[in-house]
Amino acid sequence: GIVITNNHVIQGADNIIVSVNGDKEYKVKIIGTDPLSDIAVLKIETKDNFLPVSFGDSDKARIGDWVLAIGNPFGFGGTVTAGIISARNRNIGLSRYEDFIQTDASINSGNSGGPLFNMDGDVIGINTAIYSPSGGNSGIGFAIPSNAASTIIDQLIKYGETKRGWLGVRIQQVTKEIASLAGLQETSGAFVGGVSEGSPAEKAGMKTGDIILEFDGKKIKTMRNLPRIVADTKVGKNVSVKIWRDKKSIIKRLILGRLESSKDFKKQ
């Protein structure tokens, strides 16, 4: 009886009703919500049994793969639309943790929170947003990848809240000018524009002007990769951070903090 939807679908609601198979309605209680990823986890209040869908591996989804979107566009009830994956790793400016799958399957108002299926019948995304100058479907829809969503969903079910990793740095894009001055051959990584007092980064000796090249063995291709990778890393984990300083790379080790209990989070 666990139901996954978008936080914006249920935010501010006094009563939440879930319709199953278009005819039976149930009351639900909220297990947990996360506005930062726009995910909400609900539980149907009944002893009835339901057949759940399975989450697939969204990292295996490729541009050009066929997908099906299911939702409730304009209140018409269960509606299926087909399309392909148009792009991966999209950032549209809704939150700091974006990594959307873009699809041209028709997504309209009311589709939010619905599943995006691959051809194996596995959920690889949660339909969340559209780009539409007119307000209607323009063939550009966005879904939260199932792998990213699963981490948040598991935490909400287990704890009723999220537990994201926290490094404690303010970052900027590495431009060609910054890379040239730093002696880097390519414009990758995240430039550290500031370090929070008392943060894991400060305790590890990281400084303003450092460029983070790798975090916990994962290469930081662009600045926006870092917040998502840090957030997905387990709180309390001992991680290594590869940074570029004084025209050479060095390794710093640190114990990752928790974003939700940090000063940085309380400022948001």
Say how far apart CA 212 and CA 188 lie, in whole Å: 9
Q: At 47, list the tokens.
A: 């002893």
Residue 93 identity (one-letter amino acid) = G
* 45 phi, psi to nearest 5 deg: -90, 85
Active site residues: 8, 38, 112
Task: From 196, 198, 234, select the one nearest 215 (Cα to Cα).
Answer: 234
176-207 burial: b if 16+ Cβ within 10 Å, else e = eebbeebebeeebbbbbeebbeebbbbebebe
Say how far apart CA 245 and CA 175 lie, in whole Å: 16
Please answer whether residues 72 and 35 qualify as being in contact, where contact means their C-beta atoms are separated by less than 8 angstroms: no
